[in-house]
Structure 1
Amino acid sequence: MKFSEWIDIWLKNEKPFFKESTYATYSNIIENHIKPSLGAKNINYIQNNDLQNIIFEKLNSGKLNNKKGLSLKTVKDIMTVIKSCLNSAMKNGIIKRKTFDYKFPKNIPSKKIEIFSHAEHFKLFQYINSNLDEKSLGILISLLCGLRIGEVCGLKWCDIDFENEILSVNRTVQRIYIKKTISSESKIIISSPKTTSSFRNIPLSKHLIKTIKKLRKNNNFYIISGNRNFIEPRIYRKYYYSILSLLNISKLSFHSLRHTFATQAIELGTDYKTVAEILGHSSINTTLNLYVHPKMEHKKKCLTLIHNKLSSYLKKRKR
């Protein structure tokens, strides 16, 4: 049996257990990356070196134009799908049990997150406050709470508890693309947030609650549309970029609002656990790896404090 034949069977069997967005992601990975690299090979003859070669191939020239490599995260996602498929083949007696082993290079630089400068951040905040309506409110919420664009598009007025001043993240709006062998399709779905931890309650400041109350509408209305119909992320992203162009500030992705929020929260001394929970990260390590990069002056201050403490102890002993 060719690997392409088994992976189609595996995906069909696993479909009931996947979120619709996860199924779409796996379909794209399989059609765009796995089948072209491994699909024609007999599943019984797949060896560790085949898997290791795929890792190097995708990191070096994995994009569809073959000019650039894929990110390490994307390659890890590809290998997760391959390994899950092979494990299922062993479990079902399609191939003999064996250990599949491979490594990821350690010297790949991580992608630097993009954030707005303090001047740009203030300029955007000032503009939104001066031109506040339902649509611009979504940008303000992301600036002050770090929500993803799909979460902002999925917010309804019933998600805000005005009495206790809490915003609940309960759903996300996203367009998914399902790649098939000879065709592809896309559609908008409203689903649960990215992960279990992405369901979260975020306490709102008194000032933000006061601002939001001015625009309050029917509980079943979506916040940024002001009616029962949601605005999809692709459309809202265009609106966001139009504001950046108007203000003549860096054309960073909407996700950079989230990065900027997290970075400033940490710079202001907010503890990492709190930031992780506000962002909906499943692990504090995600927050630490993304946003905690101490500056040289902070490192120097740390060493100075330790030296001063030891010196102070030494002086006491001499007395």
Structure 2
Amino acid sequence: MDVSKIMMADVCEEWLNMKRLLIKQSTYAKYRNIVERHIEPDIGDYNLGNLNSYLINSFIYEKIKKGRLDREGELAVKTVRDITTILKSIVKYAEKEYHTENLAGNSVLPKRSRVKFEVLSLKEQKVMEEYLLDNLQEPRCVGLLICLYTGLRIGEICALKWNNIDFESKSITITHTLQRISMPDLETKRKTRIIIDEPKSESSFRTIPIPEKIFKIIRKSSYPHNDEDFFLTNSSKYVEPRNYQYFFRRTLKNMGIREVNFHILRHTFATRCVEVGFDVKTLSEILGHADTSITLNYYIHSSWENKQRQMMLLEG
């Protein structure tokens, strides 16, 4: 087969059609978005005969430069790594399907930046808890408390229904996540839509014990309710993550706390767990991490005081 007549844009579409049969809607939407925004516009017009590691590495380098100009921090590097991983998978598909050479053999992934997570200070956490406890009539405020004390992701709390709460074992079981994905619809002309799907990994399916003080709040908020109702609305209507993020920002403003991302609740929960002595395996399972190494790399950091104590051991 003459690979000089096969365009990368066509290979990209073939790869997406193949992947669509194997992966979740949300993952497919992410892949398509990356292909359409980054890969096809830049190298879609190349044919397989002209593609090589040099062109791929040049493409990656340009993405890194653009990422640094557009936004600083891990997000830019992570995005480029995602783009690179998908491109290499497409090239691998071309190698098997069209018997091309190892086109990406010498291409490299951008180096991962060290991630520094923000957490609420103890003072900020106290202010937040006091405000939320004064506004328990608002289910979305109770939802924020739940996230602060269980580490739920925003998509998980938005998908939470009353039937996910076991009042006997005092636990929450995570079975679904809610998110808005990019999925253009030619008939409705909508570019995105909400999906409620199973979590992204097996480890994200989990049952979390509820701290007693949070369980008492949930129990007081539970009557009357329908098991199939969403927790945040006590109705069949959901709150989508984007709107819950807006609510969180307004709440921060009311509390006089700096503007931060919703995910800070999860980081704060994990950090407090480490501070009170949670073992890594337990914390990893509660957070829904696929591997304890993720928990270790993200959250387990020795304090300066502990470093000093350890160094003192050298003195005998």
Q: Is TM more than 0.5 here?
A: yes
Kindly state the Cα deviation for residue 210 of structure 1 after the two structures are TM-superposed.
1.4
1:54-97 deviation line (CA, Å, top 9, x unaligned):
2221111148xx64476222112111211111111121125245
Give the aligned CA root-mean-square deviation in angstroms: 2.1
Kindly state the Cα deviation for residue 99 of structure 1 after the two structures are TM-superposed.
5.9
- Counterpart CA distance in 1 for 2:19 and 2:44 is 18
Kindly state the Cα deviation for residue 112 of structure 1 after the two structures are TM-superposed.
2.1
Query: What is the DSSP-based 3-state SS (H/G/I as helix, E as strand, rest coil) of the residue aligned with 2:236?
Result: coil
- Name the structure 2 match of 1:241: 249
User: Which one of the candidate residues 127, 130, 135 is aligned to 1:131?
Assistant: 135
**Pair 1:3-2:8 in alignment:** yes
Query: What is the DSSP-based 3-state SS (H/G/I as helix, E as strand, rest coil) of the residue aligned with 1:174?
Result: strand
Tell me if the contact between 1:173 and 1:190 (Cα under 8 Å) persists in the aligned partners.
yes
Structure 1, unpaired ranges of 5+:
312-319
Matches within 5 A, 1:162-177: 162-177=167-182
The TM-score normalised by the length of structure 1 is 0.89
Structure 2, unpaired ranges of 5+:
1-5
Kindly state the Cα deviation for residue 209 of structure 1 after the two structures are TM-superposed.
1.4
Kindly state the Cα deviation for residue 98 of structure 1 after the two structures are TM-superposed.
5.6
Tell me if the contact between 1:25 and 1:178 (Cα under 8 Å) persists in the aligned partners.
no
Q: 1:58–1:99: structure 2 CA closer, same or farther, 3 Å change rule?
A: closer
Query: What is the DSSP-based 3-state SS (H/G/I as helix, E as strand, rest coil) of the residue aligned with 1:244?
Result: helix
Q: 1:155–1:276: structure 2 CA closer, same or farther, 3 Å change rule?
A: same
- Name the structure 1 match of 2:66: 61
User: Which one of the candidate residues 175, 194, 197 is aligned to 1:188?
Assistant: 194
- Name the structure 1 match of 2:123: 119
1:169-199 deviation line (CA, Å, top 9, x unaligned):
110110001369xx87100000011221111
The TM-score normalised by the length of structure 2 is 0.90
Letter in 1 for 2:202: T
Matches within 5 A, 1:188-267: 188-216=194-222, 217-267=225-275
Matches within 5 A, 1:79-98: 79-93=84-98, 95-97=100-102
Query: What is the DSSP-based 3-state SS (H/G/I as helix, E as strand, rest coil) of the residue aligned with 1:231?
Result: coil
Letter in 1 for 2:253: S
Query: What is the DSSP-based 3-state SS (H/G/I as helix, E as strand, rest coil) of the residue aligned with 1:102?
Result: coil
Letter in 1 for 2:260: L
Q: 1:179–1:34: structure 2 CA closer, same or farther, 3 Å change rule?
A: farther
User: Which one of the candidate residues 125, 149, 156 is aligned to 2:154?
Assistant: 149
Letter in 1 for 2:247: Y
Q: Number of matched residues?
A: 304
Tell me if the contact between 1:116 and 1:250 (Cα under 8 Å) persists in the aligned partners.
no
User: Which one of the candidate residues 305, 311, 316 is aligned to 1:297?
Assistant: 305
- Name the structure 1 match of 2:280: 272
1:283-302 deviation line (CA, Å, top 9, x unaligned):
11111111223222211212
- Name the structure 2 match of 1:314: none
The runs of at least 4 consecutive aligned structure 1 residues that moved more than 4 Å come to: none
Moved more, 214-223 or 295-304: 295-304
- Counterpart CA distance in 2 for 1:191 and 1:169 is 11
Q: 1:225–1:103: structure 2 CA closer, same or farther, 3 Å change rule?
A: same
